[in-house]
Amino acid sequence: MSNIYDFIVIGAGISACTFASLLNKSSSDLSILLVEHGRRIGGRATTRKSRKNKNLEYDHGLPSINFTEHISEDILKLISPLINSKKLIDISKDILLMNEFGNINNALNHDLIYRSSPLMVNFCEEILNQSINPKNINFSFQTLIKSIKRIHDLWEIKDNNGKLIKSQNLILSSSLLAHPRCLKILNINSLPLRDAFIPGKDKVVDALLKQTKKLTYIMRKVYIFYVSNSSVVQNFNHQYLQIIFTNIIKEDLNFERIVFQRQSDGSIIISLHCSYINNLPEISIDNMIKSLISLFSSYKVFLDLFFEASLIDTMDWRASQPLNNLLPKELQWSDNSKIGFCGDWFDLNSCGGVESAMNSSIRLVKSLTRVDL
């Protein structure tokens, strides 16, 4: 293979994996490289392997996958084999709601809610497994892209180690290189996507940059607690349970939901999701546990878990989910500059992040396979 890829995709989350899998299905000879900052695929819907305790592997981002009743035929085609083979499990019964009086009830939700089995990272793996010529899908992990340039009709991207990779087409599956938040995160002075073009050269890119600036996100901090395998854990009869807190609790404590995930050795990982818009008020772990104990005071099985829980990890998701000013689908591809965009930052059409991320990639592949690549 020449060292110029047909496509470089920056990112390897759900949108990037959907894009690569579908493009490979329709044009299996095209070479694709997914460049990902993280250690594995999945992006915000990935799974963390503990470096300290090799037995622990837990979902520390998106805890479940929602699809609305408007789910497209194309997404159904991708997920039906996973549902049939129980790699996507319906968990609507494992999602409960806690009100401000500490009562737990079934959550009323009309969405289809799934968990990827055994772990969230497997969802992206399974989507990629549906490609037909996997040898043409390549990966570069732990590679952070800081600069992109278009030179002599080719894309040149540079990673954090100064290595240069080239492609005919470039796809950004994350808004990071186009959004002002990258200046702080990447410690750079200007937007890489803006630097790649002089204003006025590409109308799609100009409009995309203008609109991306206005995008806002829900921020989330996830606290991960561990409860080792003991009699307390054996009394807890769930493989997986998610409890959503009502708005009053959320406003008071920033607690959004709490997720219990059983580990292969029987122990339990508890992830407490706190969401915030500007700042998360400082809260000590002791006070956090005290608040949980007070909320769950009528449920001994949970209290026992909280008494034994120890904090092992935290994850700060500063752009966990787009909130406002999503971008229109018309800005997903510039044929002039051979650059495309996908991800949950495009038109949600009243659906959740995963559904919109997948829809955006499906649309992009459809439009690309109609143009001359």
Q: Which residues bind ligand FAD (CB under 6 A)?
A: 10-16, 35-38, 43-45, 61-62, 66, 143-145, 173-174, 176-177, 220, 222, 273, 317, 320-321, 343-344, 352-354, 357
Instruction: Determine the residue type at 144.
Output: L
223 contacts 314 by C-beta, under 8 angstroms: yes
C-beta closer to ligand FAD: residue 36 or 126: 36
C-beta closer to ligand FAD: residue 155 or 233: 155
Output the smallest distance, CB 230 to ligand FAD, in A: 28
C-beta closer to ligand FAD: residue 68 or 229: 68
> What distance in Å separates the CA atoms of residue 268 and residue 261, rounded to the nearest whole number?
6
Output the smallest distance, CB 343 to ligand FAD, in A: 3
C-beta closer to ligand FAD: residue 139 or 299: 139
Tokens of 151: 């030179």
Output the smallest distance, CB 345 to ligand FAD, in A: 7
Output the smallest distance, CB 85 to ligand FAD, in A: 22
260 contacts 274 by C-beta, under 8 angstroms: no
> What distance in Å separates the CA atoms of residue 180 and residue 160, rounded to the nearest whole number?
19
Output the smallest distance, CB 178 to ligand FAD, in A: 10
Query: Roughly how many angstroms between the first and final C-alpha of the chain, as a whole number?
Result: 17
C-beta closer to ligand FAD: residue 141 or 307: 141
Output the smallest distance, CB 83 to ligand FAD, in A: 18
Buried b / exposed e over 289-312, threshold 16 CB at 10 Å, is bebbeebbeeeeebebbbeebeee
Burial class (CB in 10 A: 0-12, 13-18, 19+), 261: buried
224 contacts 313 by C-beta, under 8 angstroms: yes
Output the smallest distance, CB 227 to ligand FAD, in A: 20
C-beta closer to ligand FAD: residue 237 or 350: 350
Query: How far is residue 239 CA from its own chain's centroid?
Result: 22
The residue whose two tokens read 């990779």 is 165
192: region left, alpha or beta (phi > 0 left; psi from -120 to 50 alpha): alpha
Instruction: Determine the residue type at 153.
Output: D
C-beta closer to ligand FAD: residue 172 or 232: 172
> What distance in Å separates the CA atoms of residue 259 and residue 315, rounded to the nearest whole number?
14
C-beta closer to ligand FAD: residue 40 or 262: 40
Count of positions (residues) in the chain: 373
Q: Which of 178, 192, 157 is nearest to 5 (CA)?
A: 157
C-beta closer to ligand FAD: residue 295 or 326: 326
Q: Which residues pair with 237 in a beta bridge?
A: none
Output the smallest distance, CB 62 to ligand FAD, in A: 3
Output the smallest distance, CB 174 to ligand FAD, in A: 3
305 contacts 270 by C-beta, under 8 angstroms: yes
